C-alpha cells in the first residue's frame, strides 16, 4: 500500500493535467488508469485520432479539388486506408507516450488498472489499496445510445465514434444518427473518402445550441461538400443484418415512416458520464438528475476529500474544459485559489471550414433580454482566404449595445479554432469590440477578418 496526497482516477485531459499541476505544486500524486496507454478517450479514441483522419482526408480534398487550379497537375492521390490508419496509430502513440514522459518527469505514479473508492481516503486498484488525502474522479464519458430507440451497437456495422475511427474498410454508404459535433466531423472524414453519408437529425438544425446563423451557414457548406441531411427525423430502430443495417426513422412533422440502408451506421447522439464501478453508491456521492457527479464551487463532491472534474460532472463535454478544471482543482488541493471562467470556454468543430464559438449567442442574448449589436465580416473580403480557396464563412462578434463589451463570437472559416482565441483573451480582459478593432493585425492573415468583424461593431469594416 502506498500513500499519496492525491490520487486521480482517469488519465484523460482532465486527469493528466490535474496530476501534472498537483505534482508541480509539490503534492505526491498518482493516477489510476486501466487502459494500456495514458490520455483517455481524447488521445486514444477521440480528439487526436479524429484530427489525424480529418487532416489526412482534408489533404485529399485539396488534391482533388484545388491543386489543379493552382497549376499542380497530375493524378490525385489514391487512398491507402491501411497506411492512413497506421499514420493515425502513430499520432496516437506519439501523444500517449508524451504523457508517459511527462508523468516520469513530474514523478507521478501510474497505478495500472481500474480503480474504485472503497471509502473516502482509499483507492483500490486490483488487489492493492492505496491511501490518499484527496481523490479526484476524472473518469470521463462513454458514447450514449440513441435515447428511447431500439439500437444495438456492435462496433462493426453499428458503431460509435470509437468504431468509426477504425473501420476495416471505407464503407460505400454511412448513416450518421445525430448532427452534432461527432457526427459532422466523422461524417466529413468519410464523405471525403467517397462514402455516401446521410446525417439523420432529430431537430430542424444541426449542432444544437450553436448560433442559428452559423447552424444554417454550416449546413449549407456541408451540403455543398456532399453530405446529405434528413432533418426533423427521429430514429427509432436500427436493424442489423449480416453486412449492413437498416435505419428506421419517423419524420416529426407528419409522423411518416422512412428507412435508409447503410453499410455502416454511426451513432453520435451524445455521451454519458462514466460512474459505474467507482463505488459511488456505497460512498453516498450524490449525482445530478442527468447522472453526472454533483460538485460544489470547488469541484468537491458531497463526500469530503473526493473531487470530480471533466465529462463526469456538469458542463460541456470538452477536453479543454476538463483541463481547466484539472488545473483549478490542483490549485484548490494545494491550498490556493482555483478558478474556471465557464463563460469563456470556446467550442470548435474541426471540419473544413472549421466552426468555432465562445460566449453568448444571439438567441441566448435575446432570451436574456440584453441589448446587443452584431459585427459581421465575410471571409470573401479576406485576401488570404481568397488566395487559399478558403473564403467560405464569416466572423460574427456580439457586443453589448451600450458598453461595446464583447459578449460572444461565432466563426465559420479557415483556422476558426485558432482565431477564436484572440476573442477569448479579449473577453477574459473584459475588452470592447473597439479594443480588438484598434489592435494592429498582420496582413495578410485570416485574423484580419476578426478585426474587421470588430470594426463592424463600430463605424464599419474596411473590406466590405
- Residues forming contacts to ligand NAI in the complex (CB under 6 A) are 146-147, 149, 177-183, 185, 200-203, 208, 233-235, 268-271, 316-318, 347-350
CB 421 within 8 A of CB 400: no
Q: Which is nearer to ligand NAI, 257 or 459 (CB)?
A: 257
Distance CA 333, CA 86 (A): 40
Q: Which is nearer to ligand NAI, 61 or 252 (CB)?
A: 252
* Residue 414: CA count within 13 A, CB half-sphere: 20
Distance CA 180, CA 40 (A): 21
Q: Which is nearer to ligand NAI, 207 or 378 (CB)?
A: 207
Distance CA 64, CA 78 (A): 10
Q: Which is nearer to ligand NAI, 230 or 380 (CB)?
A: 230
* Residue 437: CA count within 13 A, CB half-sphere: 22
Distance CA 253, CA 85 (A): 41
Q: Which residue is nearest to ligand NAI (CB)?
A: 180
Distance CA 438, CA 425 (A): 15
Q: How far is the CB of 434 from ligand NAI (least distance, A)?
A: 30
CB 237 within 8 A of CB 150: yes
Q: How far is the CB of 151 from ligand NAI (least distance, A)?
A: 9
Q: How far is the CB of 413 from ligand NAI (least distance, A)?
A: 16
- Residues forming beta bridges with residue 197, ordered by sequence position: 174
Q: How far is the CB of 254 from ligand NAI (least distance, A)?
A: 16
User: b/e per residue, 247-284, with b = 16+ CB within 10 A?
Assistant: bbbbeeeeeeeeebebbbbbbbbbbbbbbeebbbeebe
Residues annotated catalytic, as ranges: 443
Q: Which is nearer to ligand NAI, 180 or 359 (CB)?
A: 180
Expressed in percent and rounded to 5, the helix, strand and coil fractions of the chain are: 35, 25, 40
Q: How far is the CB of 49 from ligand NAI (least distance, A)?
A: 11
Amino acid at each position: 500500500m502506498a500513500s499519496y496526497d492525491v490520487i486521480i482516477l482517469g488519465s484523460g485531459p482532465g486527469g493528466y493535467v490535474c496530476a501534472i499541476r498537483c505534482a508541480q505544486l509539490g503534492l505526491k500524486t498518482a493516477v489510476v488508469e486501466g487502459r494500456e496507454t495514458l490520455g483517455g478517450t481524447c488521445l486514444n479514441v477521440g480528439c487526436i485520432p479524429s484530427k489525424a483522419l480529418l487532416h489526412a482526408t482534408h489533404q485529399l480534398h485539396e488534391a482533388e479539388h484545388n491543386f489543379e487550379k493552382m497549376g499542380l497537375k497530375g493524378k490525385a492521390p489514391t487512398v491507402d486506408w491501411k497506411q492512413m490508419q497506421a499514420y493515425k496509430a502513430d499520432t496516437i502513440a506519439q501523444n500517449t507516450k508524451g504523457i508517459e514522459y511527462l508523468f516520469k518527469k513530474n514523478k507521478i505514479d501510474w497505478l495500472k488498472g481500474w480503480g474504485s473508492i472503497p471509502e473516502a481516503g482509499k483507492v483500490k486498484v486490483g488487489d492493492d489499496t492505496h491511501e490518499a488525502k484527496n481523490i479526484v474522479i476524472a473518469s470521463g464519458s462513454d458514447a450514449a445510445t440513441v435515447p428511447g430507440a431500439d439500437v444495438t451497437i456492435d462496433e462493426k456495422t453499428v458503431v460509435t465514434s470509437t468504431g468509426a475511427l477504425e473501420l476495416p474498410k471505407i464503407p460505400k454508404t454511412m448513416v450518421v444518427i445525430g448532427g452534432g459535433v461527432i457526427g459532422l466531423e466523422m461524417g466529413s472524414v468519410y464523405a471525403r473518402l467517397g462514402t455516401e453519408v446521410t446525417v439523420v437529425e432529430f431537430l430542424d438544425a444541426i449542432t444544437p445550441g450553436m448560433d442559428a446563423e452559423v447552424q444554417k451557414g454550416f449546413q449549407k457548406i456541408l451540403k455543398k461538400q456532399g453530405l446529405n441531411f434528413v432533418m426533423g427525423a427521429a430514429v427509432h430502430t436500427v436493424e442489423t443484418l449480416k453486412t449492413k443495417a437498416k435505419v428506421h426513422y419517423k419524420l416529426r412533422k407528419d409522423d411518416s415512416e422512412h428507412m435508409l440502408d447503410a453499410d455502416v451506421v454511426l451513432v453520435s447522439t451524445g455521451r454519458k458520464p462514466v460512474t459505474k464501478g467507482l463505488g459511488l453508491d456505497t460512498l453516498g456521492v450524490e449525482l445530478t438528475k442527468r447522472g453526472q457527479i454533483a460538485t460544489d464551487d470547488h469541484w468537491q463532491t458531497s463526500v469530503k476529500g473526493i473531487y470530480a472534474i471533466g465529462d463526469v460532472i456538469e458542463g460541456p463535454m470538452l477536453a479543454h474544459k476538463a483541463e481547466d478544471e484539472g488545473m483549478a482543482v490542483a490549485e484548490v488541493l494545494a491550498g490556493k485559489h482555483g478558478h474556471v471562467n465557464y463563460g469563456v470556454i470556446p467550442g470548435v468543430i474541426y471540419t473544413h471550414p472549421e466552426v468555432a464559438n465562445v460566449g453568448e449567442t444571439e438567441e441566448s442574448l435575446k432570451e436574456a433580454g440584453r441589448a446587443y449589436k452584431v459585427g459581421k465580416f465575410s471571409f470573401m473580403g479576406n485576401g488570404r482566404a481568397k488566395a487559399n480557396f478558403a473564403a467560405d464563412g464569416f466572423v460574427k462578434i456580439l457586443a453589448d449595445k451600450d458598453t461595446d463589451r464583447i459578449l460572444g463570437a461565432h466563426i465559420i472559416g479557415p483556422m476558426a479554432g485558432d482565431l477564436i482565441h484572440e476573442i477569448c483573451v479579449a473577453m477574459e480582459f473584459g475588452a470592447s469590440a473597439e479594443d480588438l478593432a484598434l489592435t494592429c493585425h498582420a496582413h495578410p492573415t485570416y485574423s484580419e477578418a476578426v478585426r474587421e468583424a470588430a470594426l463592424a461593431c463600430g463605424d464599419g469594416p474596411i473590406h466590405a
